[in-house]
Amino acid sequence: MSETSKMNEQQKIADKQNTKFRGIKAFIPTSALNAMRNARANKSLKNAPRLAFNSQNLLKLGDIQLDKWLNNSDCAQNWSEDQKNIAKILGHQDKYGGVNPGDRQAIYTLINTLKPENILEIGTHIGASTLYFASVIKRNGVGKLTTVDILDVNAPDAPWKGLCLPASPKDNLKTIDCDKNVEFIQSNSKDFLEQAKQKFDFIFLDGDHGSKTVYQEVSLALNLLRPNGILLLHDYYPDKRPLFPDGHIIPGPYSAIKRICEENTDIKPYPLGELPWETKQNVNTTSLAILTRLN
């Protein structure tokens, strides 16, 4: 048998096994599938080699002034003006996915208050958070955003198309004239974080939520932070407890941060908890958390 026909045979066997497994999966309850996925993820995090976590540029826990940052009346005015513009693209609700409406407001408000110069976003997707970063950068008159995704998020067949958004993330920014200070990069987060030459004041991690990836991303991201930098995590569910009425959780970021904190006792997450406005499902709870240092 030639090499090519041998490979074709092997491919056929693999396809048959995959189809069989998909068939079996249809009969396994979601809770059991999730438990299997979680067990696999825990094993993969446990087996990941220990990495260095350079916490010196993280903002100190004692320097967080969340109430003051979020309850800023100038910002509330800016928000209502910019939100009207962005709603022309995304609507007012969680119609297309991406970070939820309340988290968008939290991101906007933090950037409007803290005015970081250089911002990095990992996980562009449909560009929901990107639109808010970009609008507030324009509003502040200071700042640049680099947004990274493993996919070409602006391609004609990218998720924006499947989710029926009016246009690609880049074109949506152009529509509201805030594309000037935004750079889109297609890359695996780890490759980008390893090779980046720039440093950032604010890094938002919302890419792959697998625990091993988040563990690796945080290690690399810390090396790119400027002094008193903010590392903001999305989908951080403290103690892996549900935060929203639907009971759903994403365990990866919490598991990763738990291991990081066990290995580095000077690092501590600061979950943003309850926001002054609704996030989704009629509650004000957020899964946003800032990674801080104690000393």
Ligand X SMILES: C[S@@+](CC[C@H](N)C(=O)[O-])C[C@H]1O[C@@H](n2cnc3c(N)ncnc32)[C@H](O)[C@@H]1O
Q: Rule CB under 6 A: which residues touch ligand X? A: 98-99, 122-129, 148-151, 188-189, 206-208, 213
Kindly state the smallest distance separating residue 231's Cβ from ligand X, in Å. Answer: 15
Give the nearer residue to ligand X in terms of CB position, either 260 or 293: 260
Kindly state the smallest distance separating residue 159's Cβ from ligand X, in Å. Answer: 6
Kindly state the smallest distance separating residue 116's Cβ from ligand X, in Å. Answer: 17
Phi-psi region of 273 (alpha: psi -120 to 50; beta: other; left: phi over 0): left
Kindly state the smallest distance separating residue 287's Cβ from ligand X, in Å. Answer: 11
CB of 288 within 8 A of CB of 234?
yes
Give the nearer residue to ligand X in terms of CB position, either 137 or 268: 137
Kindly state the smallest distance separating residue 131's Cβ from ligand X, in Å. Answer: 8
Q: What is the side-by-side order of every strand in the sheet holding 225-233?
A: 182-186, 144-149, 118-122, 200-205, 225-233, 289-293, 267-271
Kindly state the smallest distance separating residue 26's Cβ from ligand X, in Å. Answer: 26
Give the nearer residue to ligand X in terms of CB position, either 35 or 151: 151
Give the nearer residue to ligand X in terms of CB position, either 57 or 189: 189
Give the Cα separation of 189 and 203 in Å (integer).
Answer: 12
Give the nearer residue to ligand X in terms of CB position, either 201 or 208: 208
CB of 293 within 8 A of CB of 266?
yes
Give the nearer residue to ligand X in terms of CB position, either 232 or 268: 232
